Amino acid sequence: MSKQDLAPAASAGCCAPVAAAPLDEERATGLAAVFKALGDPVRLRLLSMIAAREVCVCELTPAFDLSQPTISHHLKLLRQAGLIDCERRGTWVYYWALPDALDRLVGFLTAARADA
Amino acid sequence: MSKQDLAPAASAGCCAPVAAAPLDEERATGLAAVFKALGDPVRLRLLSMIAAREVCVCELTPAFDLSQPTISHHLKLLRQAGLIDCERRGTWVYYWALPDALDRLVGFLTAARADA
DNA sequence: AGCTTGTATCGAAGTTTGTCGATGCAAGCT
DNA sequence: AGCTTGCATCGACAAACTTCGATACAAGCT
């Protein structure tokens, strides 16, 4: 039996036949990488602080009970996920948020939300 | 539009924005647990299939190149995250999505997005 | 040139995660 | 009762993750 045609298009009737495409494997991998970056309380708090306004690392590190290398590691993961970016200005390094990555996540979630 | 002044004693300059509260540790832990559940391509695809419509496990398992216990394990994690729920009906088990969890994630993301 | 401070990178240790085969349980059969 | 099918749980293993101290790099000092 072919499971290609999962959608019975039963009583759905008029509108919304198979609302969102079932999320192909490639797109799922890309999205999952970003979600995984948010799957840690420390990184979530870091992102929320950075999204509020551009922040220097020297303000972020003392806000946690973690070592400086650990905070630096989490910032690197957020950056690799495309959620933030940084720049060195003299002695200090400043981080800011990249809204596009958040937009992609919201797009997926609202599509799933709409289906449900 | 009330901006609570949680500003750090830093010399933030004139206005000291700090829009949303910086996401307390407890809420960050709860949200991160849900984001972590989405941090895997298999679970993301499972959720998108389940969100489209209520689905029987017997339709989900053959859609992946993974063993049946592995799919069952991923479904359990999604359920523990509050993203889906299930019910046994005779021989088969059916899963459906819980939109509230998605709403919470969208709420966090759009708040962060607004700040940035 | 040295010294000091801010940040990133480098191993390493301990924990968690993804996956599997084997097994167990539930429900519908004959 | 037995047999078969659908799904969950168990135990194990390799891979990945989080965290740390030690170290290296970068920039502004004296």
What domains, with CATH codes, occur in chain B? 26-115 (1.10.10.10)
Local structure of residue B61 (DSSP, 8 states): G
Tell whether the model's pLDDT for residue A15 goes beyond 80. no
pLDDT band at A4 (very low <50, low <70, confident <90, very high): very low
Strand D lies under 7 A from the Cβ of residue B48: no
pLDDT tens over chain B, length 116 residues: 333 333 333 333 323 344 456 789 999 999 999 999 999 999 999 999 999 999 999 999 999 999 999 999 999 999 999 999 999 999 999 999 999 999 999 999 999 998 87
Phi, psi of A94 (to 5 degrees): -110, 140
Tokens of A60: 């972020």
Q: Is the CB of B75 under 7 A from strand D?
A: yes
Quickly give A115 CA vs D20 C1' distance in Å: 45
B104 min Cα distance to partner chain A (Å): 10
CB of B90 within 7 Å of some strand D atom: no
**Residues of chain B found within 8 Å of residue A38, distances taken between Cβ atoms:** 31-32, 35, 39
Above 70 in pLDDT, residue A5? no
Q: What's the distance, CA B26 to chain centroid?
A: 16
Nearest-angstrom CA–CA distance, B23 and A101: 19
> Residue B116: its pLDDT value, please?
75
Q: Which of A6, A7, A45 sits opposite B23 (nearest CB)?
A: A45
Length of chain A equals 116
Indicate the residue type of A115.
Answer: D
pLDDT cut 70: percent of chain A above it: 82
Beta strand extents in A1-116 (DSSP E only): 55-56, 84-89, 92-97
* pLDDT at residue number B115: 85
A104 by DSSP, 3-state: which? Answer: helix
Across chain B, which distance is largest between two alpha carbons, in Å?
66
Q: Is B20 in Cβ contact with A52 (below 8 Å)?
A: yes
CB contact at 8 A, A97 and A84: yes
Q: Is the pLDDT of residue A68 over 90?
A: yes
CB-based contacts of A113, cutoff 8 Å, min separation 6? B51, B99, B102, B103, B106
Query: Taking residues A68-90, what's their average pLDDT?
Result: 98
Residue in A with minimal Cα distance to B58: A3
Q: Which nucleotides of C are covered by protein (CB under 7 A)?
A: 5-11, 17-22, 26-28
**Least confident window among A7-21, A29-43, B88-102:** A7-21
Q: Give the orientation angle of helix A25-37 with respect to helix A68-80, to 10 degrees.
A: 150
pLDDT of A14 higher than 80: no
Residue B62: DSSP 8-state: G
Please tell me the distance in Å from B82's CA to the nearest CA on chain A.
14
Contacts of A100 in chain B (CB under 8 A): none
Give phi and psi for A66, each to the nearest 5. -135, 160
pLDDT score at A20: 55
- Of the candidates B92, B69, B9, B74, which has an alpha carbon nearest to the alpha carbon of residue B37? B74
